[in-house]
Amino acid sequence: MNPAQFYTGLVVDAYAKLKSAHFDAAPYAGFISRTGEPALELGCGDGEPLLSLVAQGFAVSGVDSSADMLARCRANAAARGVEVTLHHQPMESLSLPGRYRSIFLAGPTFNLLPDDETALRALKAIRAHLTDDGAALIPLWIPDPSTDLGVPREAEGDDGSLLRYTPLSETYDPVARTRVTTSRYERLTATGSETAGREWILHWHTPAQFRALCAEAALTVTALLDDNGDPAPSGATDFTAVVRP
């Protein structure tokens, strides 16, 4: 299931309340300040950190493959009183009219591309949309097998309902470099319940594998960084690649 199909309906509502990570705008503001504008966030979702960057005055647009996520992003923008340019496209077939000096992903959204072929198409699209002096910031992650199967996460929805996410089972394939988690989303109210099942596919790359893919896309990895923006240690499984034409 691709992200456009994954992030629909109940899952989008649950994502806002149950997501495991939040993205401070400061590192992305620093990246744009160093690399230049205009900027583009790939996989912008419901607007974090995109809307904070726009509110700070950065010329940054967003793109996402999920129409429901973009609808929530527009609603969040309206609530904050900011105007933002959004595009409804998957990153692997990106086709926008302009080019950008800064392109970035917040969190390892690139890992949602299910195989090397799709990842290569995305990198080629990034190259086509970068200016010759631009750069892209791509967080990557090599996941371990999950340790929380069967353990639900819960939160209260905007309407007072109970939102619940439960990972049920998993297939971990180190040869294909994929982790496929079957999960259940639920919305429980006093009058009934709603359920949605999803398969969460993660596909990972070692630094060497990612460098090779970038080379095929006419991109060069110029740095691998840790969460503090320092050079990532050898053998790191959570790192951010800085790539340039």
| pLDDT, tens digit only, all 245 positions of the chain | 677 788 898 999 898 888 877 889 999 999 999 999 999 999 999 999 999 999 999 999 999 999 999 999 999 999 999 999 999 999 999 999 999 999 999 988 999 999 999 999 999 999 999 999 999 999 999 999 999 999 999 999 888 999 999 999 999 999 999 999 999 999 999 889 999 999 999 999 999 999 999 999 999 999 999 988 899 998 889 999 999 99
Q: What is the pLDDT, as a whole number, of residue 58? A: 98
Could you tell me the residue ranges of all domains in the chain? 3-142+206-244, 153-202
Q: What is the pLDDT, as a whole number, of residue 67? A: 94
174 exposure class (CB count in 10 Å sphere: 0-12, 13-18, 19+): exposed
Tokens 């109940």 appear where? 10
**CA-wise closest residue to 41 among 230, 54, 205:** 54
CATH class of the region 3-142+206-244: alpha beta
Tokens 């005055």 appear where? 57
> Can you give the pTM of this predicted structure?
0.94
Which H helix or E strand runs over 18? helix 10-18
Q: What string of DSSP letters covers 72-139?
A: HHHHHHHHHT----EEE--GGG---SS-EEEEEESSSGGGGS-SHHHHHHHHHHHHHHEEEEEEEEEE
Could you tell me if 160 and 151 are in contact, meaning their C-beta atoms sit under 8 angstroms apart?
A: no
Pick left, alpha or beta for residue 29 (phi over 0 → left; psi -120 to 50 → alpha; otherwise beta): alpha
Structure tokens at 3: 């992200």
